[in-house]
Amino acid sequence: MTHLNDITTDTNVSTRSKGSHLTIDDRVKISVLKELEYSNRMIAQYIGVAHGT
């Protein structure tokens, strides 16, 4: 399985303020990671949001 760091050049987990919307970049990352069968929890941890988002 591909590692998260192989997918994007971002090596730091994003930090965002509570209540902010997902960016287009976040949505693209989510799409790619879902295609690679990453769990919602792994994806959420990577982009810095709650897993239920």
Residue 53 lies in a domain: no
pTM attached to this predicted model? 0.66
CA 48 to the chain's CA centroid: 7
Phi-psi region of 22 (alpha: psi -120 to 50; beta: other; left: phi over 0): beta
Residue 38 lies in a domain: yes
pLDDT of residue 4: 60
Domain around 43: 4-47
Mean pLDDT of the chain: 82
The arithmetic mean of pLDDT across residues 28-52, rounded, is 95
pLDDT of residue 16: 67
Residue 9 lies in a domain: yes
Domain count, the chain: 1
